[in-house]
Structure formats: C-alpha cells, structure tokens
Structure 1
Amino acid sequence: MKENKYDDPVFFEKYSQMSRSQQGLEGAGEWETLQKLLPDFAGKRVLDLGCGYGWHCIYAAEHGASSVTGIDLSEKMLEVAREKTQFPQVRYQCMPIEDIDYPENSFDIVVSSLALHYVPSFDAVAKKVNSCLAPGGVFVFSAEHPVFTAYGTQDWYYDETGAILHFPVDNYFYEGKREATFLGEKVTKYHKTLTTYLDGLLTNGFAIQRIVEPQPPAHMFHIEGMKDEMRRPMMLIVSARKARKV
C-alpha cells in the first residue's frame, strides 16, 4: 500500500486551510509561472497525475479540453474534487501515480502539480508518461526543488532568537526517502537530484522545452513566510514534449 498522508484526518484538515486549498490556483504561489508554461488545452485529452482537489483538471476543462482524467491516491482529495467539478468530460480515479497503465497514445497532455516528490522513481513515471502520450504530446510538471528536498526536514536553520539564518542543503547526491515536516506533521517524500529529473526526461524520449524555478509573486509577500521563499528555490517546473517512443 502506497503511503497516503492526505487521507489522515488531522493532516487533511490542516491542508484544507492553506491558501491553495481555499482559493484554488490563484492561492498557489507558483501558479502564475506554471500557467505560462501550460499548452493549449482546446480539444486535447488530458491526464493529471496527483490531481488533488482537481483545480488543474477544472482549468483544463474550462479551456476546452475534450476529456480530462485526474488520478490521486487520496479518497478525501477526490471527494472534494468531485464536489467542485461541474464538467462532464472530467473523471477522477483513485490510484497511485506509479500504477498508471493507460494504452499508448491515450493523452495529448499530461500535467502534474507538486506530486512527483511523493513517488520513489521519476524514471519509472517518465517511461509510463511517454507510453501513454501521443506523438508530440506535452508533459508539464512541478515538483519540490532538489535543493528543498535534499536535507529532509525542509525547515530553516534559526538563531537563538528564532530568526532565520539559512536553509540547510546536505546529502544532495544520496537520493531516496526523506522524513519531512509539512504543516507540523511528518510526511514521507523522496529526494531526487536535478540530474534525475532532467536526464530522466531526455533518456525517456522527451525534449525539454522550458525549465523554471518559480518565485512567489510580490503581491503574495504579505502571506506569512512567503517572502522568505525568495531566499532559496522551493519548486521546479519543467515543460517537455514527447520526441520519440521508448
């Protein structure tokens, strides 16, 4: 059984209070950057890996996608997604990202928002995405930045007064499981290097289009802790196109 922290009642309640949970895409600090990298959804078949509340599925449908499939391991997340979604061309499935097994050429676009750091192997996911994408199909994903995931705790170093000193980066090349603290709860994530993400795309039949380390927009600096995100990268966004079958 894959770990599913988002169905833990305490964690889910805390997550539901985040701005990205209550305000949707506009409440996500990386959205303005991610939006610019998304392809045209009109008439396209879309797969969302780790769809959560379904915000990106809804966005794709609003922008003309012919069909949208959102998968997530959390029944609680999918319950909210189904309540929010009013588009008949959107369907949700409860399953782990690692278990996708769609026929070849099933989708034109695959998106994933802040979910791949919960998956042990990016290489395995890239292979499956390549298989289910149509020729020339697009894969756009965001994930926690390797600088952010390397040390594990994902917290700053503080001085004796509680002021931030710096962010720790250690054991960078030792990939694998990390026990992070997110919303005051212990959460298992998987650290991967930048090489693993980018070379993993290239060796699995993709041509990289864009690589962006999103910065929080200035108009969100008033949110607690948001301005501090300018001190180190927290996320990585990559857009790639299927160049060949593997």
Structure 2
Amino acid sequence: MKQNIYDNPTFFKEYTSLRESGLTYNDFLEQPAMKTAIGDINGMLILDLGCGMGDLSKYCADNGAVSVIAVDISEKMIERAKEENSDKKVEYLCQPIEDIELPAESFDLVISSLAIHYIADYFALIAKISKLLKEGGRLIFTTEHPITTAQKEMKGWVKGDKGEILHWPVDNYQEEGQRKEHWYVDGVIKYHRTVSTLINVLTEHGLTVEKVEEPLPTKEGLKKLPKLINEYRKPPFILIQSKKS
C-alpha cells in the first residue's frame, strides 16, 4: 500500500501550519531553485507530480503554461490546492503519481517538487515519465539529498553537550532503500538512493542530464531564517534537470 502521510490529520495540520508561516526551506531554498530551473514555459503543457497544495502548479499557470495537470495522492492536499487556485488551466488528479495513466508524449515539461523520495520504484516512475514526455521535453525534479537520507535512523545533526551542532553523519550511503523518521508523526517513509542511481536511471530511459544543482539559501532566507546557514555544511536537496532526446 502506498504511503499517504499528508492525509493524516495531525501531520496535515502541522505541515500546513508550517507552510503558511512562509518561513520554510521550501520558501528560501527549494522553490526559488525550481522556479529558476523551470524558466520560460510559455505555451507549454505541464505535468506536476506530487503537487501538494498546488503552489508550483499555480506558478506555471500564472507564467504562460497552456495547461497543467497536477497530481497528488492526498485528498486533503488536492482540496487545499483547489481552494487556493481555481484557474481553469489546472486540472487536479487525486491519485498516486506512480499510477497515472495519460497519453504518451503529451507533455513539454514534467516537474516534481520533493515527492520522488516517497516513491518506492524510482525505475518504473522514470520509465513512465519518459513515455509521457514529448521529444525534447524536460523533466525537472527535486528530492531530499542522498547525504540527508543516507543514515538509517535519520536522527539529523549530531550535537554536543550544549546543543551545538557538531556534524552531519553520513552512513550506510551505498545501502539504498527504505528509511523511516519522525516528522510530526512516527513512521514517515522515504527512500534513499545514491546520486549515481538518481542520474543513471534517467539516462537508461533516454533522458539526457542537463544540470545537477544543490540549492543554497537565498539572501532573504538567511535573514528571515538564520538557521539556514547550517545548510552550507551539507546539502538538504538536490535538483536535477534532464531532457528527452
């Protein structure tokens, strides 16, 4: 059974409260990098996998996309996305992103923001995405950085006696697979993959890797959320751009 942690009432309440604060890693690290990578999308047909509350789908609709299909497993997130954005350019589908069945070669761009680390079968997902892209179409996605997901216990920074950050442990890096952590609730499941796996699976399915980025905090973010300075010590996310040749 596919995980749907975002429909857990406790998780949903805490997560939406965090996002509404405007003081998150999404706001000052991941989303700025995604929007820069997306670039000019005028006239494009776009698929947003793991759309969450629909922020990126709305951005695409507002910036020239002809249409956006936004997919998410969470009913609560889809409902919230519809409340926030009723633009007729955006069509919302509530289903696991692994299960989508859409016509081949339908999209100029497929985007996915911090969702792929929840997917058990990365190989099958990329195979499906490759079929959905038009020739010359792009896939742009972010995921938690393999350095972040490597440790099996996922306990975060190692701290000293006074609570000061000492270092980030990197262990079990080559041992890919399921990881569990406490994030508002127990048992949140993510999947660790090496950088080489993230890239090689793309090339195996006819996608040429154009750019790999490890986003840094914006200047505004460092002012408003000072703890972001720690992300210069280890990358929290990785962004990969690829193109169907």
Contact 1:117 1:191 in 2 (8 A): yes
1:181 and 1:155 map into 2 onto residues whose CA distance is 11
Query: What's the offset of the Cα at 1:12?
Result: 0.8
1:159 and 1:210 map into 2 onto residues whose CA distance is 37
Query: Which letter does structure 1 place at the counterpart of 2:33?
Result: T
2:167 equivalent in structure 1:
166
Tell me if 1:228 matches 2:234.
no
Contact 1:122 1:196 in 2 (8 A): no
1:38-75: per-residue Cα shift (whole Å, max 9, x none)?
14221111100000000111011101111100000111
1:37 and 1:82 map into 2 onto residues whose CA distance is 25
1:241 and 1:121 map into 2 onto residues whose CA distance is 21
Query: What's the offset of the Cα at 1:93?
Result: 0.6
| 1:125 alignment partner, SS class | helix
1:129 and 1:233 map into 2 onto residues whose CA distance is 26
1:3-28: per-residue Cα shift (whole Å, max 9, x none)?
1111111111111122x445499824
Structure 2: tracts of 5 or more residues without a match: none
1:181-215: per-residue Cα shift (whole Å, max 9, x none)?
32464411000110111011111100111110001
2:34 equivalent in structure 1:
34
Query: What's the offset of the Cα at 1:29?
Result: 2.2
Contact 2:180 2:188 in 1 (8 A): yes
What's the TM-score once normalised by structure 1's chain length?
Answer: 0.93
2:216 equivalent in structure 1:
215
1:8 and 1:86 map into 2 onto residues whose CA distance is 24
1:176 equivalent in structure 2:
177
RMSD over aligned Cα atoms:
1.8
Query: What's the offset of the Cα at 1:109?
Result: 0.6
Query: Which letter does structure 1 place at the counterpart of 2:27?
Result: G
What's the TM-score once normalised by structure 2's chain length?
Answer: 0.93
Q: How many residues align?
A: 242
Query: What's the offset of the Cα at 1:101?
Result: 2.2
Tell me if 1:101 matches 2:86.
no
Contact 1:206 1:241 in 2 (8 A): yes
1:206 equivalent in structure 2:
207
Contact 2:23 2:225 in 1 (8 A): no
Moved more, 211-220 or 29-38: 29-38
1:238 equivalent in structure 2:
240
1:203-239: per-residue Cα shift (whole Å, max 9, x none)?
1100111110001113212326322122101100011
1:70 and 1:182 map into 2 onto residues whose CA distance is 25
Aligned pair in 2 of structure 1 residues 102, 193: CA closer, same or farther (>3 Å)?
A: same
2:126 and 2:39 map into 1 onto residues whose CA distance is 19
Aligned pair in 2 of structure 1 residues 218, 154: CA closer, same or farther (>3 Å)?
A: farther
